[in-house]
């Protein structure tokens, strides 16, 4: 069975650090005959990361906190950023760069798209609402699952092939966003404020980043399932 790496997310619970992954990703992978392998965010993981990278077929990069601006050569007031985790940054970027070098299939969602962009030499906006002057809401802390906003989908892209529509309404919750697009990446969708909402690398087997969350709105478009189907097919 083909293995897909997922780097966990680290939070504090009852004064102790815990690692976790949203169950929906594990479910979607297993339903497609793929074995999820969770890479824990811990200092010691760096000592054994080569073992994870020795046997895998795909990489799923999921949501999480902000990427440290130092990772893409910018300075920003760190207190204004959310859920910074330097070890997660290090592990995810190492996994992403390894997957790119060895042409493994990569799917990045939300923060995962940011990691893909940074790994391609791109940069990030550290506050999308500061940038767009709050013209469009990209996160609603009280209504994560119900927030929707429209995207303009570019023709002749994988995203258009999956959804078959020029405009879709998507769920998102993110603080950062793409500023400078990484080398060789192609945008697939834009929000009304001009933010890039989906990317891919046409030179690779499968490298796709989505700013929105198809896994949180599965019944709304057949394309939400097709994203994961295509990722699985690229791996198999």
CA distance 29 to 27: 5
Mean local confidence (pLDDT), 41-61: 97
pLDDT at residue 129 in the model: 64
Query: What proportion of the chain, given as a percentage, has pLDDT over 90?
Result: 79
Q: What is the DSSP letter of 205?
A: S
User: Model confidence over 82-94: pLDDT tens digits?
Assistant: 888 999 999 999 9
Nearest-Å Rg of the Cα atoms of the chain is 17
The answer to whether 215 is a known catalytic residue is: yes
Bridge partners of 3?
Answer: 35
222: three-class secondary structure by DSSP:
helix
Q: Tell me, what CATH number does 134's domain have?
A: 3.40.50.880
Mean local confidence (pLDDT), 78-83: 77
The answer to whether 213 is a known catalytic residue is: yes
Boundaries of domain holding 164: 3-235
- In sign, the C-alpha dihedral spanning 111, 112, 114, 115 is positive
Active-site hit among 110, 114, 138, 174: 110
Mean local confidence (pLDDT), 158-173: 95
The answer to whether 110 is a known catalytic residue is: yes
How many domains does the chain divide into? 1
Query: Nearest CA to 212 among 104, 156, 136?
Result: 136
CA distance 98 to 208: 16
Decide: 189 and 197 in contact? Cβ < 8 Å. Answer: yes
Average pLDDT, the chain: 93
Mean local confidence (pLDDT), 24-53: 98
Mean local confidence (pLDDT), 189-199: 95
Six-digit token pair at 96?
A: 């992403």
């Amino acid at each position: 069975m083909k293995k897909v790496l997922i780097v966990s997310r680290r939070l504090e619970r009852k004064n102790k650090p815990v690692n976790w992954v949203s169950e929906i990703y594990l479910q979607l992978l297993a339903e497609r005959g793929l074995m999820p392998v969770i890479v824990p965010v811990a200092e010691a993981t760096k000592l054994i990361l080569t073992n994870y990278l020795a046997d895998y077929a795909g990489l799923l990069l999921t949501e999480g906190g902000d990427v440290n601006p130092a990772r893409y050569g910018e300075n920003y007031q760190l207190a204004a950023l959310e859920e910074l985790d330097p070890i997660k940054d290090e592990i995810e970027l190492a996994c992403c760069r390894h997957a790119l070098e060895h042409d493994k299939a990569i799917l990045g969602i939300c923060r995962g798209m940011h990691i893909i962009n940074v790994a391609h030499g791109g940069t990030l906006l550290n506050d999308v609402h500061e940038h767009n002057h709050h013209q469009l809401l990209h996160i609603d802390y009280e209504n994560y699952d119900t927030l929707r906003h429209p995207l303009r989908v570019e023709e002749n892209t994988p995203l258009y092939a999956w959804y078959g529509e020029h405009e879709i309404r998507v769920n998102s919750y993110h603080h950062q966003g793409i500023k400078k697009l990484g080398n060789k990446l192609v945008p697939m969708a834009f929000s009304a404020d001009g933010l890039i909402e989906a990317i891919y690398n046409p030179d690779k087997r499968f490298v796709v980043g989505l700013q929105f969350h198809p896994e949180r709105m599965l019944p709304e478009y057949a394309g939400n399932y097709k994203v994961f189907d295509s990722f699985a097919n690229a791996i198999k």
